[in-house]
Amino acid sequence: MTEKIKAKRSQKKGAKEILRLGQKALDYRRDILSIDQVTRLESATSELKNVLGNKTIYIDELEEKAEKVDIELKESGGLYYHKKGWVENVEMLMVAAIVVIGIRSFFLQPFIIPTNSMYPSFFGMQPNLYEEENEVPSLLERSIDKVLLGASHYRLNVESAGNLYLVLQNGGSFRFAEATFPNGRFFLFPNTVKEYVFEVGGKEHTLQVPAEFDFDTLIAKKFAGIESLRDLPLIVSQDQGFTGNRLKLSNQNYQKGDIAIAFDILLGDALFVDRMSYNFITPKSGDPAVFRTGSIDEFNRKIGTPVRNFIGEDKYYIKRLIGEPGDRLEMKVPDSIFTNGTDVRKGVPGVLYRNEKPISGKVAFDENRKRAESLSNDPNAKNPMNYPGYRSEGLLSNREVITVPQKDDVTNPTGFNGYFMMGDNSTDSLDGRAWGFVPENEIIGRAFVVYYPFTKRWGFSN
């Protein structure tokens, strides 16, 4: 008598998969199969199920019943058998896509901060300048920085000998261009970039950077130790066959093969936006809010806001929510600011008031107030926290009071509440001071957690 051999775990697993496909084919194809096909497939799957339900399963019996289901599936299984690999992969991808879309639409939406309007609470694109040529990282070091910090490396390699100039483009420092492979978005799709043209020894050199990146300030810092290119000497010349306006960046005599400038652009903070909470609670002052800009211009036209700038596009912005519906906002500039030599080229520092009290409750509120107060006492005061102090301009010019619109105001025909938003980095933020109030229907959610890059800012947002 031949000894019966018990089925192995892998054999049981294979038989269970065939049984699952048999039951799936019955569920989805019963209405298009003949009665005879349905009967045979039901019988085969039932017998295999009974075998798999035994406490001890022998390989001969398991193979016999699994083969019977296999024979019936070859005839009646359709796309659910023999092509099951790609069919199930497609199904899995579709389910995953539905889950991702659902999460993005109702719970958490990813968002990457492009600019530094919320610095230092959140970072936009940040430069890392290499002062000396021997500091330029190796390929391995750049790869590590790319993974951990989202850093992209840029450099200007000199191809001829001479002094370094920046060629002006229609009076500006750059021109817009389209980057294609491999510098386009996701390496494939064309992407708008800023294109800078440098001239060395009569030869033009071009360098492209992301459109949101402030390369002007980096150039001024690198070559002149200043903040603005406007303070560099303008040269109009025809030497070496060159005609046009340009800025002289350096007296150094570069040689072919030198690196004139090398830097990394660190990715702005990537965060998840909490889209769920605002379905149950109203946005609150202090929230780092993400919103769309599509209807902001029209909203402010209807309520008669005397805006300085219209946005003119539909994008996602992130700003700090300053004023809720009905709030009274005012910027008060200390009198000493005007007389003590404080640098006001980036706006006049002031203390922001909400409902007749200095706004408080968030680190950004308190630190910006402290900075404005310190500048009023000492224009050269140190700034360890890097908050620049709120700036008085536009709708929040000195001592002008604005009231955030409510939907039941007789002056508000829109039917929506308004909110007032400002960037924590008030000196470099185009915000509500310029384009007015945000209607409640455009607010998406609040910043929830920074998930990349892996820096000290990683974690829950404030």
In a domain, 288, yes or no: yes
| pLDDT of res. 174 | 94
- Domain holding 346, by residue range, is 271-460
Provide the pLDDT confidence category of residue 239 given band limits of 50, 70 and 90. low
173 and 279 both lie in a single domain: no
pLDDT in tens, 319-330: 999 999 999 999
Q: What is the pLDDT of residue 88?
A: 60
- Same domain, residue pair 188 and 74: no
Q: What pLDDT was estimated at residue 413? A: 95
pLDDT value of position 55: 87
pLDDT tens for each residue of 3-35: 788 888 888 888 898 898 889 889 888 988 899
Mark which of 84, 109, 142 sits at the end of a domain: 84
Residue 103 lies inside a defined structural domain of this protein:
no
Q: Are residues 305 and 404 in the same domain?
A: yes
Task: Kindly state whether residue 156 falls inside one of the protein's structural domains.
Answer: yes
**Residue 106 covered by a domain:** no
Any idea which of 157-161, 236-240, 272-276 has the lowest mean pLDDT?
236-240
From 282, 320, 280, select the one nearest 417 (Cα to Cα): 282
Same structural domain, 69 and 130:
no
Return the closest-CA partner of residue 49 out of 29, 74, 26: 26
Indicate the pTM of the whole model: 0.76
Is 246 in the same domain as 135?
yes
Asked if the model's pLDDT at residue 78 lies above 80, the reply is: no
Is residue 178 over pLDDT 80?
yes
pLDDT of residue 315: 94
Same domain flag for 159 and 250:
yes
Stretch among 141-150, 203-212, 242-251 having the lowest mean pLDDT = 242-251
- The reply to whether 262 and 275 lie within a common domain is no
Average pLDDT of the chain, as a whole number:
89
The pLDDT, as a whole number, for residue 191 is 84
Total tally of structural domains belonging to the chain: 3
Residue 108 lies in a domain: no
pLDDT at res. 264:
95
Q: Using the Cα atoms of residue 248, residue 250, residue 252 and residue 257 in order, give the sign of their dihedral.
A: negative
Spell out a b/e string for 435-460, using b for 16 or more CB atoms within 10 Å of the CB, else e.
bbbbbbebbbbbbbebebbeeeeeee
Which of 53, 84, 115 finishes a domain?
84
Same domain flag for 325 and 425: yes
Q: For residue 109, tell me if it sits in a domain.
A: no
Same domain (yes/no): 311, 417? yes
* pLDDT for the residue 93: 74
pLDDT for position 336: 93
CATH of the domain at 70: 1.20.1270
> Is residue 68 situated within a structural domain?
yes
- Is there a single domain that holds both residue 216 and residue 275? no
Mean of pLDDT values over 215-243: 77
∠ CA 317-322-327, nearest 5°, is 130
User: In this structure, are 213 and 309 located in the same domain?
Assistant: no
Share of the chain above pLDDT 90, in %: 63
According to the model, what pLDDT value does residue 227 have?
80
CATH code for the domain of 363: 2.10.109.10
Segment 295-304 shows an average pLDDT of 97
Is pLDDT of 97 > 90?
A: no
Domain end (from 242, 266, 290): 266
Statement to judge: residues 301 and 254 lie in one domain: no
